Amino acid sequence: MPSYVHLPYVLLIIGYITRNVSAVRLQTGKIIINQGSRGCALISKSGNPCSVPPLNHFYESLVLDQDCQSSTSNHSVVASNTFDPHFIFSELPSIDSCGSLRFALHPNRNSKEMRFAVIDDAAGSNASLSIYVLPINTPPTFNLLPYVDVYQDSGAWEGTVAFGISPGISEGSWNESSQQVSLLLLDDGASSALFSAPPVLRRAGSSATLTFAVAPGAAGIATLLVSAADDGGTD
């Protein structure tokens, strides 16, 4: 009859080895600036001014609390919502060893919230950062005839003198299309004797018409100033 050897049970425990991953800690999770901003927002942790000269096209802000000398971490800044960062940034956001976020903006472009992930490349941890590029009101634009010639004793005159009137919408602006533009006509105050009916400027769509009547026997030069303003504020 065969015999059996009873072996003791061997309990095998498979565990997980974990490591302590340090989180990315931001000084701020939100940066709000005006379109076209450049220069330095904050000084570095060491107390020295940030490295970007005031007239440089870069914008710099301290976002990570770390020592410039001892830091060995590399951080990536990755867009985390669906937008093309190249449309707003001429130089994409990046973080240097001192924890300063640097980027450069395209002129006259703005955007609502742009979300980024700031990733510690070594530890794999990340934090969320939002950048808002606020619109500023750009001046309205128009084209104006350089002069109008009329004959003496010609009486009433009417003609289109302003063209291409626009609220100043530039590429990338989403805030100005609904603005209303008004035109203001001023004279030099010394030419009123030339007119029996003073000059009046009337806008219709993207153009404007000038009307006046020449006074009998009058001759000379009248200097008129045309300015445009929109209702979008003065920023």
Q: What is the pLDDT of residues 51-80, one digit of tens each?
A: 544 444 577 777 776 655 555 568 888 988
Residue closest to 130 by CA, chosen among 181, 93, 75? 93
Look at 170 and 21; give whichever has higher pLDDT: 170
The first and second tokens of residue 204, run together, are: 């219709």
Q: In angstroms, rounded to a whole number, what is the distance separating the alpha carbons of residues 211 and 218?
A: 17
| Chain centre to alpha carbon of residue 174 | 10
The confidence score (pLDDT) of residue 17 equals 43
215-219 mean pLDDT? 93
Q: In angstroms, rounded to a whole number, what is the distance separating the alpha carbons of residues 67 and 79?
A: 25
Sheet of 195-204: strands edge to edge?
141-144, 156-166, 207-214, 195-204
Distance separating the N- and C-terminal Cα atoms of the chain:
102
pTM: 0.57
Is the CB of residue 116 less than 8 Å from the CB of residue 78? yes
Q: What is the pLDDT of residues 89-104, one digit of tens each?
A: 888 988 877 777 888 8
% residues pLDDT > 90 (the chain): 22
The confidence score (pLDDT) of residue 99 equals 77
Q: In angstroms, rounded to a whole number, what is the distance separating the alpha carbons of residues 59 and 105?
A: 8
CA quadruple 215, 216, 220, 224: dihedral, nearest 10: 10
